[in-house]
Amino acid sequence: MGLKPKSSNNNGPSVDWERINGTLEEDTYDARLAYVIDLGLQQRGKMAADRDEDDCTFVAGEEEALELLTELRETIGEYLVEYKNYDEWEDVEVAKNNLERIKRDVPDVKEGDEVLRFKFRIVALKDANEAAYIADLVDHYVEYVEGQEEKQFRVTLNPRDFVSGMLSGFALTNVPPKGNNTEWTFSPLSMHAKLAKATYTDLLAEDNDVSYMLDKPFGIQVSKNNKGFPKFTPAAIRKKDLGRVEQLDCTPMCITFEEATLEQIQELKPNKQLVDKIKVALDYKGSAMEKALEAYAETFDKKPKKQESEEEEVNFEETPVEEQEKKLKKVVRKAAKKPVEQPEEEDDEGDDEPPW
């Protein structure tokens, strides 16, 4: 079962993510890729390109500049506009050597005119199949719920989109050959290429099937921002050290739209962000993935309701910090009034709703 380019309300156990993330130091950890997940055919919208000199935009004046920046903010968000300094421009005089290029954006321009040049270009992206990567730090264990069994630290390598807040998929799109390459493969800037380099995987030899990276050892470099939130970056481990990397506790798995099963979804236990992303896929309806997720949701409906005396469950990933603290205090008070025996293992036996 492979994954390669194709033509074209959470009620889980309470998790204190600040505590969990606090167990990580800024360092490089041994890891293995645990899951490769097909996100289906996704509508990708627009992006701002700025990789070469041709990725620029000319406008006639300040009024057109403000319109362009408004569209850009709606496309990529205010944060990236400021971070990339996209709202800065330069005055350019139209001359014989740049006339034709500027006419692509300002058709009525003439030699001697002055226009404004921005260092980005808004481009429409083609719909594409996307993937998600989940890795486990194999020698770093945490109690996701205090008092319950420790588990390997799990990392979703996909970031969230700045504008929508949704999980961002990695497009399974090949680019034309460059340099000494003679075949189409993934861009060297893509997560696929970065993971392939870190895992010593030749994706070209594997027909660009990213599932061949499953269970291969690599490093994950952890860095933190000023608020303590970790960032995860794939990194290669020296080949002579690969044999010492611990094994996964889970069974590595590739889950595709065409062959997804209830058993696979039960093993994965996808969070709300991952499920929301899958459900907006253009080919979700009628897929094996849809059937598997619906069957997974039904398993929660069949479970007995929890008694009111049991601890209230809080999803710390999606609740504002102040509300989290209030709900946690409420949980502690309720537990103190009537202690509840804790299960030995973290599971969903008491849940009556799916984790989305």
> DSSP assignment, residue 95?
-
Q: Could you read off the pLDDT of 262-294 as tens digits, one per residue? A: 999 999 999 999 999 999 999 999 999 999 999
Give the confidence band of 354 by pLDDT, cuts at 50, 70, 90: low
pTM: 0.74
Taking the C-alpha atoms of residue 135 and residue 31, their distance in angstroms, rounded to an integer, is: 7
| pLDDT value of position 51 | 84
Contact indicator for 10, 220 with CB cutoff of 8 Å: no
More confident residue, 186 or 330: 186
| pLDDT value of position 13 | 58
Alpha carbons within 13 A on the beta-carbon side of 229: 3
| pLDDT value of position 21 | 87
Q: Could you read off the pLDDT of 36-64 as tens digits, one per residue? A: 999 999 998 888 999 888 899 999 999 99
- Alpha-carbon separation of residue 178 from 17, 175, 182, 197 (angstroms): 42, 9, 7, 17
Contact indicator for 221, 28 with CB cutoff of 8 Å: yes
Closest by CA to 355, choosing from 255, 291, 265, is 265
